[in-house]
Chain A
Amino acid sequence: MNRSVSPRIHYGIQAALLFGLALFTGALVKTNSLHDYLAPRTEKWMFWCPVLLGLMAVFTAYRTIAPDDDPVCGCSHEAPKSLLSKMFVYGLFILPLGLGILLPDRALGSSAAAAKGFSYTVPLLDEHVSKDLASSAFQSGLLRQESGPGKAFLAPGNKNTELAQLAELLYAEPVIEVNPDIYAETLAAIELFKQEFAGRTIALTGFVYKDKSIGQNGQEFAVGRFLVLCCTADALPFGVSIQLPAGMASPEQDAWVRVTGTLKADTGGQEGLIIDAARVVQVNQPAVPYVYSDENSHADAVSALIQKENAQ
């Protein structure tokens, strides 16, 4: 097969692009910034990518200097016909590199939350069933069984056994700290046993989201996080409503705050949790702004809670 010069240039460009992608993904893995884009469970697939891309780049680069009788002819894959379309294709591959390098890393904010639809209940919680079961179990007195100093929470549905265990652990805490490792689970557990937790003190950190529908008087806003399932594009924004006491200044949209307050019993027909804020402190955006529903970190956080309880 007689090779002209031009395909060799293309192999060179392709090798450069592959090498660029390998470096980019490698840098993301090395600097731990993958969590900006991926959830832990998809992240682990990424670790081999820099190596594979690098190998592909090296062997594609070899094609630029390979002897003409090289048996890999690549004839089943034709490069695009016109120069313009070639440039377009290379431009496409430069795009992720360019965007990733040139634009600063910023976490998703309230405008993304508004576009996706901010949820005032925890997306993990399968609303219909667990709520119905929870309330019926509550009415029939199954839910609450006083046992010793703590309360035993009986799971209203088989799925919610985990949440019930968590609720039990959380109930023993003097101040319920919403741990980012189990952010969604904690809020789900509290929401599931809303009546039980009414009046308890809770502390959580999140970004400020001001909806058009709430906060007409400026004393109401939401604090929440994005729950990332596989990648940040499928993140679900959710959180709790915060009611400020009269006279307290409302924080800015998108600010990161730590709210301490009591859980309100009467939510006035509104879905989700409402916190009567006692203290709202502005904090720095955490290194990992998103929350995940990861089984490993969940187990770790729960065992940490258990240890804490045993120590007390």
Chain B
Amino acid sequence: MNTTAVLKRFSLILPFCVLAACLVVILPKLHNMAGNEYLSTFKIYFLSIFLEAVPFLLFGALASSLFHLLIPEDFLGRRWPKNPLAGIAAACLLGAVFPICECGMIPLVKRMVQKGMPAYAAAVFLLSGPVVNPIVFGATAIAFEGHPEMVYARLGAALFVAVSAGFILSAAVRSNPLKHTLAGHSGHLHDEIKLFRRNYPLRRKTAALFQHAADDFLDAGKYLLLGCLLTAALQTFVARDTLAAAGAGPVSSYALMMGLGFVLSLCSTSDAFVASTFMHTFSHGALLSFLVLGPMLDFKNVLMLLSAFKARFVIALVLIVPPLVFTACFLVERYFIT
């Protein structure tokens, strides 16, 4: 072992020692701070959002790992319909068939793009998946039982937004949206285990499955944690009423509810209940914008997208989706909800 390696090792261990020292000093103070109600509220929010997402992220990571090990490279690239219309329809169908929430979807979509799914189809899948599925339909129907039109409006608006975003992206994005691609890795032959192909022992295959899943989990998990931190801090320190007071005008209420949907990062199965508590405060169109935008884009979701996709692609999504949501919800409010 040469000296640089030793130095590297030390440079890794050193921060941990410093961290341990800091913890020893802070710990007694932390116990005093534990009496602070804000801190305990923050802890509850942070952990509950994180724990709620963990199972879905784990299943997503496992599915992504399985997908990676089962499906040959460029499989989707050869099979995916070339016609954008058919491609978008296929992506919508996929979204409806796989009822996973956005936390679990991102690792899976990343793999699908790696195997040749076009960027626009990935976007349609990501945008429609969390809203357009039977589970979310049921949850929304319970929350808005007196207003069945809201349930259909939510699905319709979400489909409209996903499909239009798909068309825009299919015309605009040609390059691979993934952060790092296998092709970019020159130097070594990509000798991957395929579960049913090569004669690797079962132990190796199992190891590969869980190692890839662990990588995916840690990759997306760090962004999930960042998102949870931000959301929990916001929910702890900013009163919902102060936010609601800001959206007094008819148009500003849309902006506010969309902002709220982005910031609160609720699961798409529970956000309908939260939205129904705003029934007295805002118009149905504004509530709809909350219900449509929230699952598509939010703090933790955007951060997790950054784990898989290039910043340009994510920014494009963030810029395209809100105006589309606004248009869809405004029109729905104007012409369909009386």
Within 8 Å of chain A (Cβ to Cβ): is B97? no
Within 8 Å of chain B (Cβ to Cβ): is A71? yes
Assess whether B51 is in contact with A109, with CB atoms less than 8 Å apart. Answer: no
A-B contact sample (8 more), CB < 8 A, given A93-B222, A230-B266, A230-B267: A18-B218, A75-B182, A77-B219, A100-B43, A108-B44, A119-B277, A157-B146, A232-B45
Instruction: With both chains docked as a complex, state the minimum distance between the C-beta of B80 and any C-beta of chain A, in angstroms.
Output: 20
Q: Assuming A56-B210, A231-B267, is B37 touching A111 (CB within 8 A)?
A: yes
Q: Assuming A53-B58, A60-B211, is B239 touching A229 (CB within 8 A)?
A: no
Q: Assuming A52-B62, A76-B182, is B41 touching A108 (CB within 8 A)?
A: yes
Interface string of A51-87 (1 = CB under 8 A from B): 0110111111011000000011111111000010001
- Nearest residue (CB) in A for B15 is A87
Report the Cα distance A100→B12, complex, angstroms.
25
When distances are taken between beta carbons in the complex, the residues of chain B under 8 Å from A25 are 51, 54
Interface string of B35-72 (1 = CB under 8 A from A): 00111110111111111101110100010000000000
Within 8 Å of chain A (Cβ to Cβ): is B147? yes
Q: List 21 A-B contacts (CB under 8 A).
A: A5-B1, A14-B214, A21-B54, A25-B54, A38-B52, A42-B52, A49-B54, A59-B211, A60-B214, A72-B211, A75-B185, A96-B46, A100-B43, A112-B44, A116-B235, A157-B145, A230-B270, A231-B51, A233-B232, A234-B266, A234-B273
Report the Cα distance A92→B215, complex, angstroms.
15
When distances are taken between beta carbons in the complex, the residues of chain B under 8 Å from A233 are 44-45, 48-49, 52, 231-232, 235, 266
When distances are taken between beta carbons in the complex, the residues of chain A under 8 Å from B219 are 77
Report the Cα distance A28→B193, complex, angstroms.
35
When distances are taken between beta carbons in the complex, the residues of chain A under 8 Å from B222 are 89, 92-93
Within 8 Å of chain A (Cβ to Cβ): is B206? yes
Q: Counting chain A CB atoms within 10 Å of each CB, which of B56, B145, B239 scores highest?
A: B145
Main SS of the interface on chain B? helix
Interface string of B241-261 (1 = CB under 8 A from A): 100000000000000000000
Report the Cα distance A49→B9, complex, angstroms.
32
Give the bracket for the number of chain B residues in contact with chain A.
35 or more
Assess whether A55 is in contact with B55, with CB atoms less than 8 Å apart. Answer: no
Main SS of the interface on chain A? helix
Report the Cα distance A82→B5, complex, angstroms.
15
Interface segment out of the listed A124-132, A167-175, A194-202, A259-267: A124-132
Q: Assuming A130-B146, A234-B273, is B213 touching A56 (CB within 8 A)?
A: yes
Q: Assuming A49-B54, A56-B217, A93-B221, is B193 touching A72 (CB within 8 A)?
A: yes
Interface string of B267-302 (1 = CB under 8 A from A): 101110110110110000000000000000000000
Assess whether A99 is in contact with B47, with CB atoms less than 8 Å apart. Answer: yes
Assess whether A93 is in contact with B225, with CB atoms less than 8 Å apart. Answer: yes
Assess whether B12 is in contact with A83, with CB atoms less than 8 Å apart. Answer: yes
Report the Cα distance A102→B34, complex, angstroms.
9
Assess whether A102 is in contact with B236, with CB atoms less than 8 Å apart. Answer: no
Within 8 Å of chain A (Cβ to Cβ): is B312? no
Within 8 Å of chain B (Cβ to Cβ): is A95? yes
Within 8 Å of chain A (Cβ to Cβ): is B8? yes
Instruction: With both chains docked as a complex, state the minimum distance between the C-beta of A147 and any C-beta of chain B, in angstroms.
Output: 27
Within 8 Å of chain B (Cβ to Cβ): is A214? no
When distances are taken between beta carbons in the complex, the residues of chain A under 8 Å from B51 are 25, 28, 34, 37-38, 46, 231
One of A5, A91, A114, A159 near B146 (C-beta < 8 A)? A159
Assess whether B43 is in contact with A236, with CB atoms less than 8 Å apart. Answer: no
Within 8 Å of chain B (Cβ to Cβ): is A177? no
Within 8 Å of chain A (Cβ to Cβ): is B321? no
Assess whether B218 is in contact with A128, with CB atoms less than 8 Å apart. Answer: no
Within 8 Å of chain A (Cβ to Cβ): is B208? yes
Interface string of A99-113 (1 = CB under 8 A from B): 110111011110110
One of A17, A48, A123, A130 near B277 (C-beta < 8 A)? A123
Report the Cα distance A92→B50, complex, angstroms.
12
9 closest residue pairs by CB, A with B: A129-B146, A230-B270, A45-B55, A37-B48, A56-B214, A231-B48, A231-B52, A232-B48, A126-B146
Report the Cα distance A232→B144, complex, angstroms.
21
Q: Assuming A1-B188, A75-B190, A236-B277, is B210 touching A126 (CB within 8 A)?
A: no
Assess whether A59 is in contact with B180, with CB atoms less than 8 Å apart. Answer: no
- Nearest residue (CB) in B for A236 is B277
